[in-house]
Chains A and B, each alone.
Chain A
Amino acid sequence: MKKLHILGILIIALAIGVIFISLKNTSTYADFSEAISNPDKEYHVVGKLDKTQPQIYDPKVNPDEFLFSMIDNKGVSKQVVLHKSRPQDFEKSEQIVLIGKMSGSNFHANDILMKCPSKYNSGKPELN
């Protein structure tokens, strides 16, 4: 069974290798200040929609660009350029996860995940 043992060791080594390589390249959750200090690294930034700032989506100009501001979990608000069309139900989102990086003075996101409060769990018994 020697061949198999060598194979087994190789497999384990390969798996550990994968883990280390992928950890090096994995994007991490962060706040805006961390993203600002590493401008070209990709981050997942969690936060809430800043409702005091304007939102601009003009599909006539560019259907893949949506501007808004988000407040991260530390309370920092930043203007965000989302390079996608404006998601449906954007207003209703309770929490936003942006995937992207800082570039210039804006945070540029290539993807967005939203958590809506209604998901699976809304509504109380109502009588009519």
Chain B
Amino acid sequence: MLMQVLEKLFNLFVFPGFLFMAIIGLYFVGIHRKIVARIQRRIGPPIDQPFKDFAKLMIKEDVTPEGAAKGLFSVAPYITIIGVVIGMMFIPVGMAQAPLDTAGAFLILLYLITAAAVGVMVAGSASSSPYAAVGVSREMALVIAYDLSLIIVFLTVAIKAATIEAVAGNGATDLLNYSINSIVAAQATRPFILDWTMIPAFLAFLMIIPANLGLPPFDVVEAETEIVEGPMIEFSGSRLALLQLGSAMKAFFVCSVIVVFFFPGGITAASGVLGTITNIIWHIFKAWLVYFFAGTLVSASLGRRRIDQAVNFYLTVPLVLSIISLGLVLAKIG
């Protein structure tokens, strides 16, 4: 009993919980800034710059505005971090089984991705500043616009996994329960990314990444020069450090979700320590590939879109793509 509790605590705080996600997420952000700088023909900050930013922000003085809601102002930076860490518990990173896995777990993941965005909204509302209020209203409009496509993509993946399991009919009815395990097991023969009916859903999910992670062309929420950094304007010191850490961890979390939904699987079948570590590194590399193509390359070459152009885009292109995939999957084609 004690061993199980200790193991779950280890999963929560070290791997694949808080420490692992923090380090990998901050390195993702560092590599992203370096590549964007090289594309713009300048040298750019060193790769471990986000660690230095985090350390510096922890020693700065805390300046709290007078009209801010005291309790909510202190608690708001933790909402994103807690949501993302719990969400990571459901994802198998290089191991055969995730630490927590239940029936219908993909709905929990959907909720936690949106909860991470709500964390930013709560932080902005708790500071008494008109710039933060503008940032919060823009974030709300953006989340409503892309959540629709996100829900349809999740449904598509779960229904496709259940269809494949029902057809295979290998008698194991416990894999028909729409858990993450069933989604991973359904791709044992062929990952979803190689399936032509699932490619529109994959593209729709890739298009949602810039808005989710605050990258150009849809980073209108944190538009630096327009609304003085939006919801994060009144935070300083350790709270700002936690907000930026949460944003970096969310990047790794969302990329891991895409990897698990569309091309999971380890690279070796060995089950010793070396095999596990190789599978973990392979998972990190796949997540970085997703972040590179949907985040870095797109953000280095495109400018910022206005909020109405962004909402317009999200209510047309990814929605149509995901509905095409859902239709093909429901009609049991392919």
Chains A and B form a bound pair:
no
A residues with CB within 8 A of B: none
